[in-house]
Amino acid sequence: MITLYKKELSVFFSSLIGPIIICLFLIINWFFLWSNFSDFNILDGKYATMDIFFYISPLIFLLFVPAMSMRSFSEEYNSGTIELLMTNPISVFDIVFSKFLAIFTLVVISIVPTFIYTFSIYFLGETIGNLDLAGIIGSYISLLMLSSSLVSIGIFSSTISSNQIIAFTISIIISTFIFFGFDFLSNINALQPYNIILRKMGIQYHYTNMSKGLLQLSDLIYFISLSIFYLMFSEIIVLNRKK
């Protein structure tokens, strides 16, 4: 499994597409947070806070993560290497999980450079160090949990189709619905009695809780369960295609 994990990482960085996607993520974040042309410019804010970054990042991730994961299985189907992959002495779930870990690692690599935003705001405030570090740490953890769920959805979408664009589109649709859809449904009058239940089924509810620095076990279980759910479905689809 480790060999496959390393192979996936090397393949990603062996082409220009991988680094370009990571650079685009960082450039878009920089534009929204530090550019004078942005309404979300941190320097124009009244308080030293990272709230804007953690508000914008999930929206970018809804495009960024599907772009990184769309080729995970689609390319294997297209090139015919899926048969060779299946002959390796590892289980299908190990193959799926290796790809998951590789893409998740790439997302983490993309997030790490944003730590400089925290250091910058830490020293740019009127009072140096007047920053809610506990809230920021909780927000970064919530961003990682969100990334884990989106990566598993992206891999699941890639197992469905051998066309990367279709896999990309399916991943965006599923991710967007789980992030925003349940909140939208909870506002429908006919579904008001189930308001809380519907909201708790969506990613946004749990992400918002963790972004406040409230690291509750229920939120962690939600994200971990969501990731496992889609990884297991990915395994089932790959097994069926193998047959």
Confidence class for position 92, pLDDT limits 50, 70, 90? confident
Question: What local confidence, expressed as pLDDT, does residue 32 receive?
Answer: 79
Alpha-carbon distances, residue 184 vs 173, 181, 206, 210, 226 (angstroms):
15, 5, 15, 20, 20
Q: Please write the tens of the pLDDT for every residue from 131-182.
A: 777 778 888 999 999 999 999 999 999 999 888 999 999 999 999 999 998 8
242 or 93, which is more confident: 93
Q: Return the DSSP state at 163.
A: -
**Distance, C-alpha 3 to centroid of its chain:** 24
**pLDDT, position 43:** 66
pTM of the model: 0.89
Residue 228 is predicted with a pLDDT of 95
Kindly state the average pLDDT of the residues 117-136.
Answer: 72
pLDDT > 90: percent of the chain: 27
pLDDT at 157: 94
For residue 48, what pLDDT band results from cuts at 50, 70 and 90? low
> Residue 127 region, left (φ>0) first, then alpha (ψ -120 to 50), else beta?
beta
The pLDDT score that the predictor gives to residue 130 is 64
pLDDT band at 232 (very low <50, low <70, confident <90, very high): very high
> What is the SS3 assignment for 28?
helix
- What is the predicted pLDDT for the residue at 208? 85
List the chain domain ranges. Answer: 2-242
